[in-house]
Structure 1
Amino acid sequence: MLKVITIVILTFLLLPSCKNTTGSKENSVKTAVNTAHLKNTSHPIDSLLLSEKTIPLKTFYRTNNYTTVWLNETDRKALYKAIEDAVLDGLLPSDYNNKALLKFENSKTITEEECIAYDVLMTESFRKLANHLFKGKVKASGLYPDWALAPKSLNANTLLTEALNSHDITEVLDRCRPKHPVYAGLRKSLQYLNDLPDDNSLSKITITSPITLKDSGVVVHNIKERLAYWKDLAPKDAENNIYDFRTVKALKHFQQRHGIYPDGNLNNRTVAALNTPKAKRIEQVVTNLERWRWFAYDFGERAIVINIPNYRMDVIENAVDTVETYRVVVGKPERRTPILYSMLNFLVINPTWTVPPTILKEDLTPSATKDRSYFANHNMKIFYGRDTIETTPEDWVPEKADHYRYVQGPGVNNSLGLVKFNFRNSYSVYLHDTNHRELFSRGQRALSSGCVRVQDPLKLAGYILDKEDTGWSEEKLQEIIDLGKTQNVGLKKGTHVHQLYWTAWMDKDGLQFRNDIYDLDKVLYNKLRQ
């Protein structure tokens, strides 16, 4: 009995004890205090906190009296949205601290010190994104040896001040993007490619024998499947395995979009283009978006714009209007046409041609060594050093070939043709006519030693001279050509020259792709993804 009473008493004593313990635990839990309002409150910044930051960033905060500036929630969210939208520019949101900024904005408990740290991070992100949109993420000069475009500069602090004052982050950052329609088209292209379904299930096309009209089989199915994937062929027309007229028409459209002569034949270039996966095309668009950020913000009131991989030259007026187009021949992969910007300064009618070092070493010296009649056959004079007295072919010493100057006289067989268009540059290249006019009929025209050959140079010369307002006419130009004498014509009206490189764009016929003839895309894409 005593044992039972003892248990009851202990139980009674313990019950209140358990209740008290539970109560103390509940009282120990503190409700987190919501400090989100601190994000919208101005906080002083100790300048020592910025000691490791860049000079422009320090300057920005010094101008703003060392206080936080991202006090408006709409501004902060607009910056985050702009960073997310940068994927359509081929940029990585992670480069601009997107996750950290989102975490800050969603946080309900934050300290004053954290507000300051995030304010600086937002300023850094804005400045970085603005600069990348305006002049690119990668420096072209450090990537390609023959790339000489004028550097672009941007005052990101001024833009940020404007954006915060007007509360229009989106508009100000959008202003940093290139305004050319091609850039806008590339952004649409990237969205379009991203929205396409996965293409890993598509079978690779292998041609073992020619495919002709009415042929059928697995390979025809694979061809139609890829044409339908790229929307050159309507899905309903891809349901059978017959190589019919609609498939030929679709293939011609596909060829046209890839810079291949649209004959409907399944040659090696066409098969290679059909087998190119979506991921590769995305890489091309991303690299071309970056290049457009390197290019001049404005082509100028009147400009000659050459797209090297497309073998085409456009004459542009009012920065965007194409008034004339020309076929061109550009440099071979081993003698590349440089990417550059300059202005025409004079024309040479009936030009002479001095053989450059590369052609001297690789072409002239071996040929002339075998046959001295090479000089007469090419209307070429030889001069030793700076001598003005001509050296005869018989006295020419092949072992000292680089001690001579070789000057080809004017005429239709001159390597520069009848007109040379000169502009200042460090590569000694220019635009010119040619004595090999048959090359313009070829589809792939990377055939020169670096200069750009123009298919209809007299037409181009007439256009340029007509803008000079100096009494020049095509008739007067022809008179000088007929005389056969060399004459320089100075140019005073500014005609810009842009030798550029892009392998992807979008136009009225859809996505356009060109072969990366100098293998510049992959190295740039890898840099952009580092």
Structure 2
Amino acid sequence: MIARVYIAGLFFLLSGCAKDPHTVKNLPVAKAQEVVKIHPNNTAFTIDSTYLESSAKNIREFYKDKKYKALWTDEKDRKTLLLSIASAEQDGLQPNDYNYDTLTAFEKNKDLNKEKSAAYDVLLTQSFYKLALHLFKGKISAASLYPDWALEQKKLDIGPLLNEALKNHTVDKIIDRCRPPHKTYEGLRKCLAYLNSMPDDGTLQTVTIKESIKENDSLDQVVLVRKRLAYWRDLEQSDTISPVYDTKAIEAVKKFQERHGILPDGAVGKKTAEALNTTRQQRIEQVVVNLERWRWFAYDFGEKAILINIPDYRLAFIENNDTIATHKVVVGRPDRPTPVLDSKINYLVVNPTWTVPPTILEKDLTPKATDDVSYFTNNNLRIFDKDSNEILPEDWKPEMAKNYRYVQGSGNSNALGNIKFNYNNRFSVYLHDTNHREMFGRSYRALSSGCVRVHKPLELAEKILTKENSDWNMDKINEMIAAGDTEKIYLKKTNNVHQLYWTAWMDKNGLQFRNDIYNLDKLLYDKLRN
């Protein structure tokens, strides 16, 4: 399996391709202009090692292991690789990042001398390596773009894959195996193909909303709404004429709203109008960046895992790649975003206490306590100095605020609610219950200070604990909560946590888009196209 084939630090630079190798300006002059004629009789030959001096170390070592024999003498292998490179467009990648035009020009040349044949062979190998690596782990590094993304680094030993591809003449199958195996990734590829097949939307007029459009309103803007709904196939083309906002239009808007994560109330307000006005090209770019993100995500989420999509405010509990249950979540607001990470739950805490983190201390606690020192008593907060001596609220000094530790006692008013799910990470975030459960009724739920609040968390705890030990059930959890004691429940079995971020996908209800709540999409798209 490809997920088990690893090697550390596999990076290669196509420095030998900085100039068009078809001109052979970056290769030493051959002693004899021997015509190898790769086409049409595919003659095998040996490559002078000096031709590889500008190649990356892993490329040089691969050829050395093969005693510098040409690798791509089979026409089928070459043309299959060219087709695979061309099809990279379906993954939101650009074929010429993998030397498509140069390789095509080589393939069309029926008589190549030895130095050009060597250049062609090496470039094919470099292009295979680069494409396979980009499909497996992404074109760019997540951490280089987003400082608060801490995903496990995916590693791949491409040499054995190339060996297999050439030995069995299965270049396309090996390349395909490098793609993420997840259904969401394949759905995104279908999204991209679908969007590229749609007609131009440049003639559609912008929907301008001053007041929400509601049932039976008769407005010129209704016609524009209908046309955009028809373009996205949420409404029949034959229903685009009437200026009356009738039942058909309302039902189409509800369908559109559901596909965009908007409260499906049928009214066309500013958020719905903004989604309607989003162009096909903008949606294409959105899909392209999400394809790249899914190449960053873990190749295998694990036997049991919690998968969180931050922009969708949704958590899925999965087992053997099947979704067992979903929960609404509240995530960090844009100025305090929930980080993207991979981790493992190590324990649960029933009736947790809460230690105030630095961000909340600085931005919330200190200003409020400075205004009114009763803030501590009203919120069941105790103050401790660095030696764990308790400080009375009346002795608290704002200028010393950062020198104290603040702990909120367990109970119904505790910020973490009745249960906490802990996992190691450098951001000190975790999943937890909340004492503000009314937030789950909102459609916009980027409202926390970075941690993830879970709707119906005891149901999630029960699923995790019953997998741990069949003796666990909801009654036992409720008994522990009623007892009021703070208790940790350590887990022996692995429960992975993946806090992820994607804003587009395809499911049984069609194309799905979500607001880019942290404004990350454009930054990534620009980087991908540089």
Judge same fold: TM > 0.5, yes or no. Answer: yes
Shift of 1:383: 0.9
CA distance in 1, matches of 2:209, 2:311: 26
- Equivalenced residue count is 496
Q: Distance in 1 between matches of 2:300 and 2:269?
A: 39
The SS at the match of 1:334 is coil
1:185 equivalent to 2:187? Answer yes
Distance in 2 (alpha carbons) for counterparts of 1:211 and 1:473: 48
Q: 2:211 touches 2:269 (CA, 8 Å); kept in 1?
A: no
Q: Post-superposition shift, 1:217?
A: 4.0
Out of 265, 268, 274, the position equivalent to 2:267 is 265
Cα offset, 1:212, TM superposition = 2.9
TM-score by length of 1: 0.92
Structure 1 residues 115, 443: closer, same or farther in 2, change over 3 A?
same
Correspondence for 1:365 = 366
Partners of 1:105 and 1:129 in 2: CA distance: 18
Residues 397-436 of structure 1: pairs in structure 2 closer than 5 A:
397-436=397-436
Distance 2:210 2:369 in 1: 45
What is the deviation of 1:241?
3.2
CA gap 1:232/1:62 in 2 versus in 1, 3 angstroms: same
Q: 1:284-322 CA distances to partner (integer Å, 9 max, x unpaired)? A: 10000000000000111110000000000000010x211
- Tell me the amino acid that sits aligned with residue 278 of structure 2: T
Counterpart residue type for residue 232 of structure 1: D
Distance 1:109 1:471 in 2: 74
> Aligned-pair distance for 1:39?
6.9
> Quick check: 1:135 aligned with 2:147?
no
Q: How much does 1:426 deviate?
A: 0.7
Letter in 1 for 2:252: A
Distance 1:415 1:376 in 2: 15
**Residues 417 and 433, structure 2, Cα contact 8 Å, conserved in 1:** yes
Tell me, in whole angstroms, the C-alpha distance in 2 between the residues paired with 1:275 and 1:121. 44
Please give the secondary structure, in 1, of the residue aligned with 2:342: strand
Is 2:119 aligned against 1:105?
Answer: no
Q: TM-score, normalised by structure 2?
A: 0.92
Counterpart of 1:312 in structure 2 is 314
2-structure distance, mates of 1:67, 1:343: 46
Q: Shift in Å at residue 54 of structure 1?
A: 0.5
Q: How does 1:19-30 map to 2 (within 5 A)?
A: none
Match among 284, 287, 294 for residue 285 of structure 1: 287
Measured against aligned partners, the alpha-carbon deviations of 1:180-237 in whole angstroms (never above 9, x if no partner) come to: 1100000000000001111111100112344233333431111111000001111112
Q: 2:78 aligns with which of 66, 76, 96?
A: 76
CA contact (8 A) 1:415 1:435 kept: yes
How is 1:305-454 mapped onto 2 (pairs within 5 angstroms)? 305-318=307-320, 320-387=321-388, 389-454=389-454
**Contact conserved, 1:351 with 1:487, CA < 8 A, in 2?**
yes
CA RMSD of aligned residues (A): 1.3
Residue 524 of structure 2 aligns to which amino acid in structure 1? L
Q: Is 1:202 aligned with 2:195? A: no
User: In structure 2, what is the Cα distance between the partners aligned to 1:382 and 1:452?
Assistant: 25
Aligned partner of residue 224 in structure 1, secondary structure: helix
Q: Which residue is equivalent to 2:178?
A: 176
Which one has the bigger helix percentage? 1
- Output the CA distance in 1 between the equivalents of 2:143 and 2:410: 37
How far apart, in 2, do the equivalents of 1:130 and 1:484 lie?
54
Deviations 1:113-146 (A, max 9, x none): 2111100010000000000000000111111010
What is the match of residue 6 of structure 2?
none
Distance verdict in 2 for CA 1:34–1:292, change over 3 Å: closer
Unaligned runs of 5+ in 2: 1-34
Cα offsets for 1:145-171 (capped at 9, x unmatched): 100010011111111110000001110
Inter-partner Cα distance in structure 1 for 2:302 and 2:517? 27
| AA at the equivalent of 1:380 | L
Structure 1 pair 417–368 and aligned structure 2 pair: CA distance change class (3 A)? same
Give the match for residue 496 of structure 1: 496
How far apart, in 1, do the equivalents of 2:36 and 2:354 lie? 79
CA separation in 2, counterparts of 1:444 and 1:39?
64
Match of 2:14 in 1: none
Identity, in percent, stands at 56
Say which SS state the counterpart of residue 471 (structure 2) adopts.
coil
Q: Is the 8 A contact 1:131 1:154 kept in 2?
A: yes
Distance in 1 (CA, whole Å) between partners of 2:237 and 2:52 is: 59
SS at match of 1:341: strand
> Which residue of 1 is the match for residue 149 of structure 2?
147
Going from structure 1 to structure 2, the CA distance change for 1:253 and 1:519 (only over 3 Å counts) comes to same
**Structure-2 change in CA distance of 1:342 and 1:39 (3 Å):** farther
Q: Corresponding residue for 2:234?
A: 232
Find the aligned partners of 2:304 and 2:213 in 1 and give their Cα distance.
47
Separation (CA, whole Å) in 2 of partners of 1:194 and 1:39 = 39
Question: Distance in 2 between the 1:36 and 1:391 partners?
Answer: 83
Alpha-carbon distance in 1 for matches of 2:516, 2:228: 21
* CA distance, structure 1, for counterparts of residue 490 and residue 524 of structure 2: 39
Asked if structure 2 preserves the Cα contact closer than 8 Å seen for 1:227 and 1:233, the reply is yes
Distance 1:112 1:240 in 2: 70
Question: How far apart are the structure 2 equivalents of 1:294 and 1:309?
Answer: 17
SS at match of 1:79: helix
Is contact 1:221–1:241 with CA below 8 Å preserved after alignment? yes
Letter in 2 for 1:431: L
Tell me what 2:59 maps to: 57
Whole-angstrom CA distance in 2 between matches of 1:342 and 1:308: 16
